[in-house]
Amino acid sequence: MRNSPRNSSTHVLLLPVACLLLASSPPAHAQPAPATLALANAALQAGEADKALALLNSLPATGPGAAQAQSLLCRVHFALADWDAAVKDCQQAVRLDSQNSVDHMWLGRALGQKAGHAPFFSAFSLGKRVRSEFEQAVLLDPHNAPALTDLGDFYADAPAVVGGGADKAQSIANQLDQFDPPRAHELRARLAESHQDFAAAERELRQAISLSPHPASQWTVLAAFFLRRRRWSDLDAAIHNCVAAAARDKHSGVALYDGAGVLIESDRQPALAAKMLEDYLASPFKTEEGPAFIAHIRLGRLKLKLGDSAGAKREFAAASALAHEYNPAQDSAH
């Protein structure tokens, strides 16, 4: 037997309440902010720039997670080489959470890239802001090794008029000695090379390799040094050591990306460079440091050079599917 109908007056009273509850509830398909942020970060690491942007742009501009969302947006735009957007996003992240060392570091990086593509007077002004952001990042977290490295590189490369200086860079290297010796030796190598002491630079880079728990990346740094010195046989040996070290360390996949970039820039061993990029793209340990869409573009160019036009077409299509707004002309390694 059917249940008797509800009292009509009660039914009418309950309708507005039900409507309010429905209106205030998120859509069934919506993800809570923490879950969306985690998915966006995973997409960023995998090189899925379009997916990351769609996820991040679905989040509110204020409230819990907003600062992290802006920081991730900055990093996605950084990977896409959209420096203006990256600066804007990181500035917003810093406004929302001024005590976050990592956000200041990324803002410094974005400003640095913008400075590198700006006219002289704009670059001069931006350079001071770069230094300020890196210094703030280190002040907030003295053990932020990437931020210390960025600041040390700035001090080593920048003129004194914007706050550079070898003595300041050496001080940063001394700080890195305490908890990241490989980075300390790489910074000292940079200083030695800037003073034309190439023997000392090579010694420092080899010391970094010997001390690193993940030496594949340090081998690519040494290979890049040999590229600048035009020491071709030494470059080849360093790249082969990088490949061997990466095979023993699953978390060193990005070294394959970097090493392939050195080979591309030196116009050497295109088949090996292609194999390194294929292995990187097949790895589950890709990272934003080696954007997958750029890896596909580089691999496509290598396949064209090797006579595989169909393979090249597939790689370019794969890159476009991950990041349709990226302009391949912006890639410095051709």
CA–CA dist 190, 221 (Å, integer)? 11
Dist CA 133 CA 151 (whole Å):
9
Cα(258)–Cα(264) distance, rounded to whole angstroms?
10
**What pLDDT is stored for residue 32 in this prediction?**
58
Which pLDDT value is given to residue 1? 38
**Residues in the chain with pLDDT < 50?**
1-31
- Best CA proximity match to 56, nearest among 23, 31, 28: 31
Residues ≥6 apart with Cβ < 8 Å to 140: 99, 100, 101, 104
143's tokens? 């053990």
Q: How many CB atoms lie within 10 A of CB 190?
A: 24
| Alpha-carbon span 18 to 33, nearest angstrom | 25
Please give the pLDDT value at position 111: 97
pTM of the entire structure? 0.88
Domains defined for the chain, CATH in brackets = 42-134 (1.25.40.10), 142-201 (no CATH), 212-334 (1.25.40)
The CA angle 76-262-221, to the nearest 5 degrees, is: 85
What pLDDT was estimated at residue 152?
98
Dihedral over Cα of 71, 76, 79, 85: its sign: negative
Looking at residue 21, its pLDDT comes to 34
Smallest Cα–Cα separation from 102: which of 143, 131, 61? 143
Distance CA 202, CA 219 (A): 11
CA distance 86 to 69: 12
The whole-number pLDDT of residue 9 equals: 36
Q: CA separation (Å) from 332 to 53, 116, 259, 264, 288? A: 23, 13, 14, 10, 16
pLDDT at 11: 36
Task: Tell me 325's DSSP state.
Answer: T
Return the closest-CA partner of residue 269 out of 240, 229, 226.
Answer: 240
Instruction: Encode 297-308: b = buried (16+ Cβ within 10 Å), e = exposed.
Output: bbbbbbbbeeee
